[in-house]
Amino acid sequence: MIDTSEGSGETSGRPLMTYTFIVSCCLIFVLGPASGLNPEYGTGGELLQAQSAYFERWGVVPSALWSGGPGQPLTPLTALFVHGNWLHLLGNMLFLYVFGAMTEERMGRVQFALFYLATGYLALLGYAAAHADSGQTLVGASGAISGVLGAFLWLFPRARVTSLFPFLFFLPLRFPAWVVLVFWVALQWLAAREADDHPGVAYLAHLVGFTLGFLYAWARFGRTARVGGAARSSEGESQP
């Protein structure tokens, strides 16, 4: 759930692009082999082979990306709409719903859509550059959503979010959004350092996306579009 009550400032109406990205990701996932719901891909070993081929086709494989093969430059874009499993999908879509709606209303639909796609593309590209020899397939909207989080932090510095923390028995606690997001960035940075020799979870893409999103909002809007009143939203415990 999300309450978008906020201070003064113009908005663009319903967050159409946020909903469009969410629906697109969900449909692609359900129809693809990762969901296990489409009988076209079979079961057991056949399904696993279909999933592997699907991820390699539409995901980012750093070593293949830099080889300049046909269609490879598009994979950082197509990978944004592909997810590895139900938890991966639902966690990403939850964060996109909570933080994307308010960010889109502040930016406007067209600008938000371009921002989301460009940030996600560059985040995955940055990860691929750092792991140029890796054959690990990378999929998911995490880089783009991290960009949304970065922009949200600049645009809504006084927002408050209700978070559920597993290590506190899932008690709902309210914190300023900047506290939650800075804590999230710190976790990503620590995880990225630990994962340097074992690429897989794209913590580096998260950091690149977040930084790009924050810098874009700062450069594009300055202080003029920041919400002065306390906006309120809610989020779950999952991270993109």
Residue 46 to residue 42: CA distance in whole angstroms: 6
Is 142 an active-site residue?
A: yes
State residue 172 phi and psi, 5-degree precision: -75, 115
Residue 76 to residue 64: CA distance in whole angstroms: 12
b/e per residue 123-134 (b: at least 16 CB within 10 A): bbbbbbeebeeb
Type and span of the H or E element at 160: strand 160-165
Which one of 83, 88, 131, 206 is the catalytic residue?
A: 206
Which one of 134, 142, 146, 163 is the catalytic residue?
A: 142
Residue 206 to residue 186: CA distance in whole angstroms: 11
Question: Cβ distance 165 to 173 under 8 Å?
Answer: yes
Our CA dihedral for 163, 228, 208, 73, rounded to 10 degrees, sits at 110
Helix (H, G, I), strand (E, B) or coil at 64: helix
By residue count, the chain amounts to 240
b/e per residue 37-69 (b: at least 16 CB within 10 A): eeeebeeeeebeebbeebbeebbbbbebbeeee
Q: Residue 174 pairs with which residues in a beta bridge?
A: 162
Which amino acid, one-letter code, is at 88?
Answer: H
Q: Which residues are catalytic?
A: 142, 206
